[in-house]
Amino acid sequence: QVQLQESGPGLVKPSQTLSLTCTVSGGSISSGDYYWSWIRQPPGKGLEWIGYIYYSGSTYYNPSLKSRVTISVDTSKNQFSLKLSSVTAADTAVYYCARDREGAAFDPWGQGTLVTVSS
C-alpha cells in the first residue's frame, strides 16, 4: 500500500526558510488520481492545512500562508516538497504530508516530522 515519509531539518533559525520533502512509496505520484498535501500541527494544538499539489504542478495554498509557501513536485523521484519562508517561532510544528483522495479526505499520512524554529 502507499506510504509517505517526511524528511528534512528538525531545527530552523528564525527568518530562514523551512524545507521538507515527502517521499511516496508503493504508488506513483503521477497516477493523477490524487492531490498531495502538507498539513501541520503546532505542539498541543489542532491541525492546519498548508496546501496541496497535483502531479502536473498545479498548486493550492492556505490563504493565511500563501505569501510564504511554495509546494513543488518531482515525479522522477516520486517526491513532493514544501518550502516555508521567513519562519518564526509560530511555525514550530509537526509537519505531515498526506494524500488527498479528493474532497479533503487525507489518507494515508506520513508519520510526521517536528520542526522547531529557534536560534
Partner 1 sequence: QSALTQPASVSGSPGQSITISCTGTSSDVGGYNYVSWYQQHPGKAPKLMIYDVSKRPSGVSDRFSGSKSGNTASLTISGLQTEDEAGYYCCSYAGSSPVVFGGGTKLTVL
Nearest to 58 by CA among 84, 85, 77, 34: 34
**Residue 63 Cβ, how far from partner 1 at the closest point, in Å?**
5
Q: Which of 64, 72, 75, 116 binds partner 1 (CB under 8 A)?
A: 64
Residue closer to partner 1 by CB (options 17, 72) is 72
Does 33 participate in binding partner 1 (rule CB under 8 A)?
no
- In sign, the C-alpha dihedral spanning 112, 34, 76, 70 is negative
Provide the mask over 83-102, with x wherever binding to partner 1 is found by CB under 8 A and - wherever it is not: -------------x----xx
CA distance 75 to 13: 30
Cell of 46: 489542532
Among 10, 32, 46, 76, binds partner 1 (CB under 8 A): 46
Q: Contact at 8 Å (CB) between 62 and 90?
A: no
CB of 14 to partner 1, least distance (A): 25
> Amino acid identity of 46?
G
Task: State the residues that interact with partner 1 by CB under 8 A.
Answer: 37, 46-49, 52, 60, 62-64, 96, 101-112
